[in-house]
């Protein structure tokens, strides 16, 4: 796969090269400016139809994708599992094939099952963007985290990033680990053993058992949400106990040798994994992440829509000359 | 992506055997720039004279990425003493307004778009290095419309090489050249390429 293209789909960061990740981040830069214009719209994807297929609750990601699509002038349709034929028992593939029969160009999918995005991508012609599949990957979230860190530090290589909390259930953690490692960052994870996947060290990350140790080591904390909806067994004694032992608090950050940058993919459980004073404090870049989310998603849609190398090759063969 | 390839060829000294004819050397280049500046000043004065109202309109030069941006900067410095007032400059990248995303694939990186102020009521002159099919200018006009409603928009190009595919003509032209479809016109700039020159490379681009 050429480094200047992403291919047909964006399913995860595990399958991308460092060059492809950097291409997305570089492409996102000019898209930031589009959202600052008096008319926040460019005609790039005019005539393209994009379906946002959300089988799981989402506010930020869905709205962010929708803004990205609309600012590129694509036509969008939102399908939520609730209130659609999915409730009547239609399978994922049937839903997608029916949509494709209506001549759509792209599908953005959020699904509770790991691997759902790839399953779909292998069965339909449209471009597929993974907006979170089970506990597998959430590539655009990791990309916007990377873009935010690059804005803040000017680089990713050499940064020490600790991902804190519920790593077991987190697709954000997995995508971040792949992306950060590929771009040369040092990565650690920190959380209770019950929320740590077995063998996580094999990915090449350090494991901290105490949040204090993580804070001593890191330049950046990416604080994950405690995914209470996925916890059907007793993973933690209580939310108060979790906050007491693993909460990212002002008092703990004050003991750090340097100022840390705090990321959180949202939605936050204030007073559980993160102190409100930290979330709203000077070290938090949480809202910057949200702003960057739109730019990163515009870049991904743009690259996938035009990423047809065979056509680019054909155009070159015509002897086209740059004007 | 063709553009990128052409640039890298220039950097490596272009070893491919193509006939390369000089259209403008450094001195000719300077002479043409001075004339363009004079014509931009005249264009602005005639626009201002025709406009009614107490407010004098202002001149804004908008360069098209990539070499149009440097040309606009240079022309602004030449026009300023002629008008006795500062001239604003901006940059426009038309990649997102192209009509051929599907066929050429996305440009790897989109350049900067920088519009210095609201364009409402301004006298805008678009500056580009080479006018060819007219599609770039068509895209630039669409994009400018999203930044406001200028009183007048003019077009200034260093080289008009013919071969238009749209009904678009320049108001101010540095030099007209007859170039065939497979030919390439290279505009070299001191800021980017280390020297000022315009060259015609004949035959199919490699």
Q: Which pLDDT tens digit goes with each residue over A224-233?
A: 998 877 776 6
Domain assignment of residue B78, yes or no: yes
Percent of chain A with pLDDT over 70: 92
Say which of B100, B111, B132 has its CB closest to residue A30: B111
The number of beta carbons lying within 10 Å of the beta carbon of residue A184 is 12
For residue B41, the SS3 value is helix
B40 CA: distance to closest CA in chain A (Å): 22
Give the pLDDT score at B66: 86
- A155 flagged as catalytic: no
End-to-end CA distance of chain A: 28
Min distance B81 CA to chain A CA atoms (Å): 31
Task: Quickly count helices (H) and strands (E) in chain A.
Answer: 12, 9
In a domain, B167, yes or no: yes
**Per-chain mean pLDDT for chain B:** 87
Q: How distant, in Å, are the alpha carbons of A161, A286, B24 from that of A302?
A: 29, 25, 38
Residues in chain B within 8 Å Cβ distance of A38: 118, 146-148
In a domain, B12, yes or no: no
Query: B129 lies in which domain range?
Result: 25-195
Residue B83, in any domain of the structure: yes
Q: Is B52 part of a structural domain of the chain?
A: yes
Q: How far is CA A224 from CA A203, A214, B179, in A?
A: 18, 14, 60
More confident residue, B125 or A238: B125
Q: Predicted ipTM?
A: 0.73
B204 contacts on A by Cβ (under 8 Å)? 319
Tell me if B112 is assigned to some domain: yes
The answer to whether the Cβ–Cβ distance between B93 and A30 falls below 8 Å is yes
Cβ B171 vs Cβ B143: under 8 Å: no
Note the pLDDT of residue B108. Answer: 59
Helix (H) or strand (E) holding A287: helix A286-306
pTM of the model: 0.85
d(CA B134, CA B122): 23
- Eight-class DSSP state of A183: T
pLDDT digits (tens, 9 = 90+) for A309-318: 444 444 444 3
Mean pLDDT of the region A139-164 = 98
Tell me if B112 and A33 make a contact (CB, 8 A cut-off).
yes
Q: Is residue B157 part of a domain?
A: yes
Give residue B107's pLDDT band: very low, low, confident or very high (50, 70, 90): low
| Digit-coded pLDDT (tens) for A169-185 | 999 999 999 999 999 99
Report how many domains make up chain B: 1
CATH number at residue B66: 3.40.50.2020
Of the candidates B105, B130, B146, which has its C-beta nearest A306's C-beta? B105
Determine, yes or no, domain membership for B206.
Answer: no
Contact criterion met (CB < 8 Å) for B97 and A44? yes
d(CA B176, CA B130): 10
Averaged pLDDT for residues B117-121: 89
Of A83 and B136, more confident: B136
CB contact residues (below 8 A), chain B span 108-147, against chain A? 108-113, 118, 130-133, 135-136, 142-143, 146-147
pLDDT digits (tens, 9 = 90+) for B144-185: 999 999 999 999 999 999 999 999 999 999 999 999 988 999
Catalytic residue among A71, A110, A225, A252, which?
A110
Residue B71, pLDDT > 90, answer yes
Which has the higher per-residue pLDDT, A88 or A49?
A49
Asked if B93 is an interface residue toward chain A (Cβ–Cβ < 8 A), one would say yes
């Amino acid at each position: 796969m050429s480094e200047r293209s992403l291919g047909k789909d964006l399913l995860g960061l595990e399958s991308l090269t460092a060059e492809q990740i950097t291409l997305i981040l570089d492409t996102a830069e000019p898209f930031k400016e589009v959202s600052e214009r008096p008319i926040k719209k460019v005609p790039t994807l005019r005539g393209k139809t994009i379906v946002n297929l959300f089988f799981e609750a989402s506010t930020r990601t869905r709205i962010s994708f929708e803004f990205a699509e609309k600012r590129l002038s694509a036509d969008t349709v939102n399908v939520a599992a609730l209130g659609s034929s999915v409730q009547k028992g239609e399978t994922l593939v049937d839903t997608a094939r029916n949509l494709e029969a209506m001549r759509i160009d792209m599908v953005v999918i959020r699904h509770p099952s790991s691997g759902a995005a790839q399953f779909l991508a292998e069965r339909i012609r449209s471009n597929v963007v993974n907006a979170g599949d089970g506990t597998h990957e959430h590539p655009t979230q990791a990309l916007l985290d990377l873009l935010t860190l690059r804005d803040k530090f000017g680089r990713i290589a050499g940064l020490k990033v600790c991902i804190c909390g519920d790593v077991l259930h987190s697709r954000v953690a997995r995508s971040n680990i792949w992306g950060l490692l590929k771009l040369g960052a040092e990565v650690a994870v920190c959380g209770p053993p019950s929320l740590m996947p077995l063998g996580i060290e094999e990915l090449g990350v350090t494991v901290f058992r105490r949040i204090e140790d993580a804070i001593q080591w890191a330049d950046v904390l990416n604080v994950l949400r405690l995914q209470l909806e996925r916890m059907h067994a007793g993973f933690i004694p209580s939310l108060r106990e979790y906050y007491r032992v693993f909460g990212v608090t002002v008092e703990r950050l004050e003991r750090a040798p340097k100022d840390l940058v705090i990321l959180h993919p949202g939605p936050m459980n204030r007073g559980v994994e993160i102190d409100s004073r930290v979330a709203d404090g000077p070290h938090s870049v949480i809202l910057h992440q949200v702003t960057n989310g739109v730019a990163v998603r515009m870049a991904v849609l743009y690259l996938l829509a035009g990423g047809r190398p065979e056509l680019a090759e054909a155009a070159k063969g015509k002897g086209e000359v740059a004007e | 992506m063709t553009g990128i390839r052409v640039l890298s060829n220039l950097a490596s000294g272009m070893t491919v055997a193509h006939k390369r004819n000089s259209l403008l050397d450094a001195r000719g280049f300077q002479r043409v720039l001075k004339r363009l500046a004079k014509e931009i000043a005249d264009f602005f004065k005639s626009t201002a004279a025709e406009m009614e109202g107490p407010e004098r309109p202002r001149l804004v030069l908008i360069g098209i990425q990539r070499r149009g941006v440097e040309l606009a900067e240079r022309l602004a410095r030449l026009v300023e003493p002629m008008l006795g007032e500062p001239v604003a400059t901006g940059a426009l990248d038309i990649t997102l307004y192209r009509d051929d995303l599907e066929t050429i694939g996305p440009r790897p990186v989109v350049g900067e778009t920088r519009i210095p102020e609201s364009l409402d009521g301004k006298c805008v002159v678009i500056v580009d290095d080479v006018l060819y099919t007219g599609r770039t200018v068509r895209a630039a006009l669409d994009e400018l419309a999203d930044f406001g409603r200028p009183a007048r928009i003019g077009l200034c190009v260093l080289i008009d090489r013919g071969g238009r595919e749209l009904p678009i003509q320049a108001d101010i032209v540095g030099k007209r050249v007859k170039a065939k479809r497979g030919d390439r016109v290279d505009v070299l700039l001191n800021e980017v390429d280390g020297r000022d020159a315009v060259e015609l490379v004949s035959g199919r681009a490699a």
